[in-house]
Amino acid sequence: MAEKNKVVITDIQKTVKVPKGLRMLIRRCCLATIRLQGFSGSAEIDVIFTDNEEIRKINEKVFGGSGVENMLYKPMNDDGVLGAVYVSLERAGELAQTYFSSLQREAVYLTVLGVLGILGCPPEDSDSRAREEMIMYEMGFPMSTAYTLSK
């Protein structure tokens, strides 16, 4: 039986209009990240688009945090759901302005970070930068010099 991975995208915010094609990009980036990390098996990843206020509430309620985060992720591993990635599209838009990029690029980058976290590759990992660059390159968003210098 062929392995099947599913990406479920839910938009629970009203602050940022979701650009045409973003859902497809997010789906592709989740599947590319899973594949490039060598994940085997069938699984579902949930991606939830939020705004700053909602991600602050989720951070407080689910993670015990207190601030507005760009992205949060939660590994699950139950009923075939690998985990959930919460992305603040409002924050992605702010990052796009800061780094002179696009909302799509920043949303994809935040999603990649979340999926890597779900797969057990936290951003602090020594190989994380190379992994992120490889996935972003495959998605058509190579890391720009300006973005790299600003990190």
pLDDT of residue 1: 47
103 within 8 A of 96, measured Cβ to Cβ: yes
Provide the whole-model pTM.
0.90
Average pLDDT, the chain: 89
Burial tier of 41 (Cβ tally within 10 Å: 0-12, 13-18, 19+): exposed
Output 99 or 87, whichever has higher pLDDT: 87
The residue ranges of every structural domain in the chain are 5-150
Residue 17: its pLDDT value, please? 96
Q: pLDDT tens digits, residue range 4-41?
A: 899 999 999 999 999 999 999 999 999 999 999 998 88
Closest alpha carbon to 50 in 98, 91, 82, 6 = 91
**CATH topology assigned to domain 5-150:** Collagenase (Catalytic Domain) (3.40.390)
pLDDT attached to residue 57? 96
